[in-house]
Amino acid sequence: MSAHMDRIIAKLQIGDVRGAQEEVDAASRIARELKQPAQLWQVGSTEALLALAAGRLGEAEELIERTFAFGEHAQPTAAFPVHALQRHTLAEFRGTFEGVEPAIRNMVAEYPARPVFRCALALLHARLGRLPEAKRELDDLAWDDFSALPFDQEWLYGMSLLAETCALLDARDSAAVIHRLLLPWAELNAVDVGEGMRGSVFRYLGLMATTTEHWDEAARYFEDALEMNERMGAWPWLAHTQHDYARMLLARGSPADRERAQQLLDAALTTYRELGMEGCAQSESSTRSMR
């Protein structure tokens, strides 16, 4: 089991989702034979992560809850955080953040040594329009080039949350720092098994370049993110990238950008609706009003 999980982590980090799924399938067979709750939780939470990343929201929700039933007793210190962050992603896709706020706040209090939960809370505040609270969290974490976030398995995942928060706040100074920190890891997938997978790091570089108005650089990053997220079958993150890219093109304001922006918005809206991401579809529709 441990060898399979190590390979799953490595394959997901480089964006080899198909290879990771093969390892999950093999680990799942072993877990079912062993019938040990800890192993069933570990595999099941990874299956839930992959379902979320592919936009299979109904399947993901069922897996999240069924798996948590194994983990809350067998490995509670790991299962509660995974459950909270997977529910956070599910809520983000559905546009219903309010229901997950108590769990995220509880994780911040219960796990002070894991600032990734503060990153999630910062994004939560920003998504809910609580910009002063989001800025306070971001500024606290930004001290000394975000050294509050340990450089460990959660680092890319946490930085992706902070990058989105920066973009929503138009926090240019922090965006420049995050860009510099993420650049060496551009070709990786922002994932923390099994807390979550947030797609190509190129997308977050694109968001940071957009925030600092480096338009041509942002376009290159978004093009790379489109390719990687499509290759991984990370359809929600592909749609998010299309939406972000279109917003960048509209902000740049070149007449030649408008047709490309329209194509991206149409593609994002189609995917959002196919996946049942109605909250995101409404956001995409609001972007159209910028044109």
In a domain, 290, yes or no: no
Instruction: Decide which of 89 and 255 is more confident.
Output: 89
Q: What is the pLDDT of residues 71-123, one digit of tens each?
A: 999 999 999 999 999 999 999 999 888 789 999 999 999 999 999 999 999 99
* pLDDT band for position 284 (cuts 50, 70, 90): low
Which contacts of 57-66 are long-range, i.e. CB under 8 A and separated by 24 or more positions?
A: 57/90, 57/93, 57/94, 57/275, 57/276, 57/277, 58/276, 60/86, 60/90, 61/90, 64/90
* pLDDT band for position 3 (cuts 50, 70, 90): confident
- Segments of 56-110 assigned E as strands: none
Q: Rounded to an integer, what is the distance from CA 120 to the centroid of its chain? A: 10
DSSP for 145-214 reads HHTTS-SSTTHHHHHHHHHHHHHHHT-HHHHHHHHHHHGGGTTSEEEETTTEEEEEHHHHHHHHHHHTT-
Question: What pLDDT, on a 0 to 100 scale, did the predictor assign at position 12?
Answer: 97
Question: What pLDDT, on a 0 to 100 scale, did the predictor assign at position 99?
Answer: 80
What percent of the chain stands above pLDDT 70? Answer: 97
Q: What is the pLDDT of residues 184-210, one digit of tens each?
A: 999 999 999 989 999 999 999 999 999
Question: What pLDDT, on a 0 to 100 scale, did the predictor assign at position 252?
Answer: 94
**pLDDT of 65 strictly over 80:** yes
Question: What pLDDT, on a 0 to 100 scale, did the predictor assign at position 23?
Answer: 96
Tokens 């926090």 sit on residue: 171
- Domain with residue 115: its CATH number is 1.25.40.10
**Which domain does 275 fall in, by range?**
2-282
19 sits in the region (left: phi over 0; alpha: psi -120 to 50; else beta) called alpha
In a domain, 253, yes or no: yes
* pLDDT band for position 4 (cuts 50, 70, 90): confident
- pTM for this model (two decimals): 0.95
In a domain, 288, yes or no: no
In a domain, 289, yes or no: no
Question: In the chain, what are the helix, strand and coil shares in percent, each to the nearest 5?
Answer: 80, 5, 15
Question: What pLDDT, on a 0 to 100 scale, did the predictor assign at position 200?
Answer: 98
Question: What pLDDT, on a 0 to 100 scale, did the predictor assign at position 157?
Answer: 98
Q: What is the pLDDT of residues 142-176, one digit of tens each?
A: 999 999 999 999 999 999 999 999 999 999 999 99
Q: Rounded to an integer, what is the distance from CA 173 to the centroid of its chain? A: 22
96 DSSP assignment: -
Q: What is the pLDDT of residues 19-33, one digit of tens each?
A: 999 999 999 999 899
In a domain, 64, yes or no: yes
Are 290 and 257 within 8 A, CB to CB? no
For the chain, what is the largest distance between any 2 Cα atoms, rounded to a whole number of angstroms? Answer: 61
In a domain, 287, yes or no: no
The whole-chain average pLDDT of the chain stands at 94
In a domain, 199, yes or no: yes
Question: What pLDDT, on a 0 to 100 scale, did the predictor assign at position 1?
Answer: 67
**How many structural domains is the chain composed of?**
1
Of the listed ranges 36-45, 52-61, 96-105, 268-277, the least confidently predicted one is 96-105
Report CA-CA distances (Å) from 51 to 89, 186, 235, 285: 11, 24, 11, 26
**pLDDT of 285 strictly over 60:** no
Non-local CB neighbours of 77 within 8 Å, separated by 6+ positions:
none
Peptide bond into 129 cis (omega under 30): no
In a domain, 222, yes or no: yes
Question: What pLDDT, on a 0 to 100 scale, did the predictor assign at position 279?
Answer: 81
Question: What pLDDT, on a 0 to 100 scale, did the predictor assign at position 278?
Answer: 83
